[in-house]
Structure 1
């Protein structure tokens, strides 16, 4: 029977849609229309970030959509320039104002920051405070290696609900995924069809002969096959597009199922190496997060 599961349950009981809609690198002036298209398709989870500069566009789409606030799951991320306890509390205020909401469903730290991990810990403790006060429904992290997660778990009280990391057939981070699983942390896959590699001039799984053969066998696109692979392996996925046809295509993955043999063939495509090294000086990116 085809798996039609539509949500994952986080470690604090909050439900998160299986497929989210990402707005990474979506220009601010195009964000509202892209998100409205996603809402029309059926997406109910939107993933943005302070560093993307388009939280206001997500908020505008939510307001224009006519959807009840309770029907939409909003996720955003605190950028490194706002790390620190008080700074992160204020980052929530900026983000919620831009989104036009009083409560954020999932608030996560955008990166581990090894050069100043004390500030990273302080930021996470601020997330714990926001959770305790009901300002957010769940908290988590992004791009945290297991060594960073181990320290976080040792120095804080609440296990992250998610760790959002790069996962696609060419970059699978299996050991990190297993660490997440062992600690009840849901793996969210960003760049789930390998799109970031295209931006950086690399090989993309979209043209991989193995994936295309599987897609042909099911009458589906390579992107749909990869998204189905993620879901069947228990990962939440966050594809992105500004093209309404692609937006709809990426959501249409519940009417077929990959066989165990097909999943093994995709698993075998691992090439290693994530596109975001852990040791980068993220503040050197020069990203600032303005007031609302």
Structure 2
């Protein structure tokens, strides 16, 4: 706003107008009320620390990679976890179920050369499911306490809030419209071809995620720290960033309009061909 020559009073008026149109004040008050209520039950610190715990799990997994795994990562872009690494990650993520143990045992019995064949077979299977699910639409189907691990989420969701549902390595494809996300931290989650309208993100920190071809309209971002994230071909309109610091990321071909950042410092953020209008 300052770059276009507007006076301070005019800038404040425009920001106030944007805040009123997008309902920033009400959303911030509601988010703070939720946080206060959680703190009164002794849950606030646990929920706010979940991102740190997820990040620690990811760092520990990365540190546990063998030289062979590291070379495969450099050469192929992926590698296969060892059964013990899988057990440790499942335990840390609370996935100690009998079926998980059985799957790991089957995986352990597979010769290494057969694991890649199994991987491609699984990708083909997932692609087939995604193709069949493309046009599915869910209405008023909230996801509450529903963690996702390596699970693609496909299809439009209308008025289906995602609450207290952390997800790990779960791409969102052709996904929600009119779907608030509350207290749902994410790790390595990509949002692809997913138009967000009236879909606020509240108290949902993100690590290593990205938005691709995913426009945001009237979708507030409140109390959501982000690390190693970015947006590509994802314009933002009337989507303020509030109390949401970010580090190591950027905007590429992602213009924004009437989307001010309020008390949201950034560190090592790049902006490439992403024009800003009244933001």
TM-score relative to the length of structure 1: 0.26
Higher relative helix content: 1
Tell which has more relative contact order, 1 or 2 (C-alpha 8 A, sep 6+): 1
Higher relative strand content: 2
